Structure 1
Amino acid sequence: MELRGKQKRFLRSEAHHLQPIFQIGKGGVNEAMIIQIGEALEKRELIKVSLLQNTDEVAEDVAEELEAALGCQVVQIIGRVLVVFKPSSKEKYQKVSTQVRSI
């Protein structure tokens, strides 16, 4: 699902009040973290991921890695915080994605 400008703006406004639930530190992005982020996206659809100061990772590189591995979309990157969206495959968790489709 390719997002249009209005849909991205809606997702950014929804994510504004969220706290980052994943932090990428000096270990960088590994397989276990990608699996956990995928599981969190399945339940929540919209999450924030922050990069700690001690990491060598660059936010844009992490965004590309997550998009390639999970098929998600990085809606926004502000400094060291990424807003990630992926529609859930289970209908009971599809709260945000149904709102996005209606826009």
Structure 2
Amino acid sequence: MNLSNKQKQYLKSEAHHLKPIVMIGANGFTEGVLAEIENALNFHELIKVKISAEDRETKKLICEAIIRETKALAVQQVGSIFTIFRPSDEKKITLPK
């Protein structure tokens, strides 16, 4: 599933008021962090993740790993905040066509 520009804009507006739920710190992207992201996506569908890495390339690699492991969709990355979306069975967020 890919997101259209209209859908991304909608999700960005929905995520605007959200605070990061998961913080990735000095230990990096671990199994525990992955489990927390999975739980948050199952419950909320749309979440923000804060990545505390200095290097831009490291942030990019962590974001790609999150997308690959969770099968979520990237919505936006602004600085160290990464917004991702994965629809759940309950469909809490209805995307525009």
The unaligned stretches of length 5 or more in structure 1 are none
1:21 has 2:21 as partner: yes
Cα deviations by residue, 1:5-45 (Å, 9 ceiling, x for unpaired): 10001001110000001111000000111111011101100
CA distance in 1, matches of 2:4, 2:87: 15
Matched, 1:45 2:42: no
Partner of residue 92 from structure 2, selected from 88, 95, 98: 95
Change (3 A) 1:75 1:56: closer
CA contact (8 A) 2:53 2:59 kept: no
**Are 1:59 and 1:81, in contact at CA under 8 Å, matched by a contact in 2?**
no
Identity of aligned residues (%): 37
Q: Please, what is the CA RMSD of the aligned residues?
A: 1.9
Pairwise CA distance, 1:59: 2.3
Question: 1:52 offset after TM fit, Å?
Answer: 2.3
Distance in 2 (alpha carbons) for counterparts of 1:20 and 1:82: 8
- Give unpaired runs (5+ residues) of structure 2: none
CA distance 1:9–1:21, change in 2 (3 Å): same
What does the per-residue CA deviation read over 1:35-71, in whole Å, with 9 as the maximum and x for residues that have no partner? 1101110110000001225789732211110111010
Q: How does 1:1-103 map to 2 (within 5 A)?
A: 1-52=1-52, 58-89=58-89, 91=90, 94-96=91-93, 99-100=94-95, 102-103=96-97
**How many aligned positions are there?**
97
TM-score, normalised to structure 2's length? 0.90
CA contact (8 A) 1:23 1:50 kept: yes
CA contact under 8 A between 1:72 and 1:85: conserved in structure 2?
Answer: yes
Which consecutive aligned stretches of 4+ in structure 1 deviate over 2 angstroms post-superposition? 52-59
Taking structure 1 as reference, are residues 63 and 27 closer, same or farther at Cα in structure 2, changes over 3 Å only? same
